[in-house]
Amino acid sequence: MSIKFADRMKNLQASEIRELLKLTERPEVISFAGGLPAPELFPIEEMKVVSLKVLEDMGKEALQYSATEGYRPLREHIVKREKIFGIETNADDILITSGSQQGLDFCGKVFLNPDDVVVVESPSYLGAINAFKAYQCKFVEVPTDKDGMLMDELDRVLAETENVKFIYVIPDFQNPTGKTWSVERRIEFMRLADKYDVPVVEDNPYGELRFEGEIPMSLKYYDKDERVIFLGTFSKTFTPGLRIGWVNAKKEILEKFIFIKQGSDLQTNSMTQRELSVFLDMYDFDAHIEKIKNVYRSRRDIMLKTMEDTFPEGVTWTYPEGGLFTWVEFPEHVNTRDLMAEAIKKNVACVPGGSFYPNGGHENAIRVNYSNMPEDKIVDGIKRLSEVIKEAL
């Protein structure tokens, strides 16, 4: 049979991270490649309690079709949690999605015609890049420093670029760099978004996992014109396997997302939404997050300390105040795709940084995850990595 796929399929290939994750499934591999939470922190015993309670108290509703928008008590919980980021919203402005990856896909589907432009941080989240690419958009990358996107550059890009449909950013513990935007940068960013009248997609999967200092107000907090579409998820604070995320946007925008959700998969799992909602009713979620933060903080500390002790001169890395990742940069001549091929031979894995630049280039960095491996393996893995790096330099 001769098959003619849609033109969009030409742009797509399997995510490098997920292909790499397959290689790293061998138990002898110390993997810093994925963005996987620590499974030993999953609330398994509590899940037993809430699963039984949901089936007992509302089994029929939990197994039946339900509203596309999502389970209202869960949406009300989300409204309360968003206050952490300074957001005042209501349950009508929340749509439950299958992880925030689905929120990203819907942003593409709702906004993008072929050749439309998405403005992103350089580098940016690979999963978002791939989701948007399916709608055949172009990317304009804006450079960043330690305080976030460079505002002069953003101003120039927005002044010069036609058909910008939205700006996609991760201001808190960015994926892949681990950087957090300063308050000044956030205020200036929203001023520019207003000036050029552009929608903003604010992706915040890690913001609650802050190890030190105060949680800064979100972009949506500084949003006077309801132009921010806020994406949240329980993947990093609860569990990723249950696939619960959300989109928070004003009615005029959210109703488009709801139409798209209907055609895409009708609704998110009725039972899982209820389990999570009952979990939030019954247990102290802040205490649960505190537990996660304590473990990840220690893992970050031991990772950065081991890098300090073993990495050769000329290699630098970010200091993430929370989240899951640090970003390691090498001299320009180092190609980390080759470096990672060597690392895998020594049974240690990270993601080559080039994957995070939608327009290519920048092969001299890697993303390193510290949430998934226990401390002894972090020490061991970083030491192995340092050997590979020393050979490459």
Q: What is the dihedral of CA 93, 155, 179, 42, to 10 degrees?
A: 20
Q: Choose, by CB under 8 A, the member of 252, 284, 313, 332 that binds a copy of itself.
A: 252
E strand segments, the chain: 30-31, 94-97, 117-122, 138-145, 148-149, 164-169, 200-203, 228-233, 245-248, 316-317, 325-329, 348-349, 351-352, 365-369
**Per CB under 8 A, 253 contacts a copy of itself:** yes
271 binds a copy of itself (CB under 8 A): yes
CB of 310 to a copy of itself, least distance (A): 29
Question: Does the protein bind a copy of itself through residue 39 (CB under 8 A)?
Answer: yes
β-pair type (138-145, 117-122): parallel
Q: Which of 24, 177, 218, 269 binds a copy of itself (CB under 8 A)?
A: 269
**Which residues, in sequence order, are bridge partners of residue 149?**
144
CB nearer a copy of itself, residue 254 or residue 339? 254
Retrieve residue 123's tokens: 């580098």
Is residue 262 within 8 A of residue 69, CB to CB? The reply is no
176 binds a copy of itself (CB under 8 A): no
Q: Which is nearer to a copy of itself, 47 or 392 (CB)?
A: 47
Near a copy of itself by CB under 8 A: residue from 27, 28, 65, 345: 65
Residues in region 371-390 near a copy of itself by CB under 8 A: none
Torsion of the alpha carbons at 246, 249, 250 and 251, rounded to the nearest 10? -40
What's the DSSP call for residue 138?
Answer: E
Contact 172, 207 (CB under 8 A): yes
What whole-number distance in Å separates Cα of residue 241 and Cα of residue 380? 28
- Report whether 340 contacts 24 (CB < 8 A): no
Binding mask 105-134 for a copy of itself (x = CB under 8 A): x---xxxxx--x----------x--xx-xx
Name residues contacting a copy of itself, limited to 230-249 (CB under 8 A).
239-243
Residue 351 interacts with a copy of itself (CB under 8 A): yes or no: no
Report how far residue 309's alpha carbon sits from residue 118's, in angstroms, rounded to the nearest whole number: 40
135 binds a copy of itself (CB under 8 A): yes
Strands 117-122 and 164-169: parallel
242 vs 289 by CB, closer to a copy of itself: 242
2 binds a copy of itself (CB under 8 A): yes
* Phi and psi angles of residue 31, each rounded to the nearest 5 degrees, phi first: -105, 120
Compute how many other C-beta atoms are within 10 angstroms of the C-beta atom of residue 361: 9
Query: Is residue 143 involved in binding a copy of itself (CB under 8 A)?
Result: no
Closest distance of CB 122 from a copy of itself, Å? 20
User: Binder to a copy of itself among 47, 84, 217, 393 (CB under 8 A)?
Assistant: 47
**Nearer residue to a copy of itself within complex by CB, 265 or 376:** 265
- Give the torsion through C-alpha atoms of 99, 303, 318, 391, to 10 deg: -110
Of 161 and 335, which CB lies nearer to a copy of itself in the complex structure? 161
Stretch that binds a copy of itself, among 210-218, 252-260, 276-284, 374-382 (CB under 8 A): 252-260
Residue 288 CB, nearest approach to a copy of itself (Å): 13
295 binds a copy of itself (CB under 8 A): no
3-state SS, one letter per residue, for 229-282: EEEEECCCCCCCCCCCEEEECCHHHHHHHHHHHHHHHCCCCHHHHHHHHHHHHH
Q: Is position 1 an interface residue for a copy of itself (rule: CB under 8 A)? A: yes
Residue closer to a copy of itself (CB basis): 200 or 334 = 200
Pick from 173, 148, 131, 133: which is nearest to 35 by CA? 173
Q: Which of 31, 272, 336, 364 binds a copy of itself (CB under 8 A)?
A: 272
Give yes or no for residue 89 binding a copy of itself (CB under 8 A): no
Q: Per rule CB under 8 A, is residue 56 in the interface with a copy of itself?
A: yes
- Which backbone phi and psi does 227 adopt, to 5 degrees? -95, -5
- Nearest distance from residue 318's CB to a copy of itself, in Å? 24
Q: Could you say whether residue 92 binds a copy of itself (CB under 8 A)?
A: no
Size of the site for a copy of itself (CB under 8 A): 85
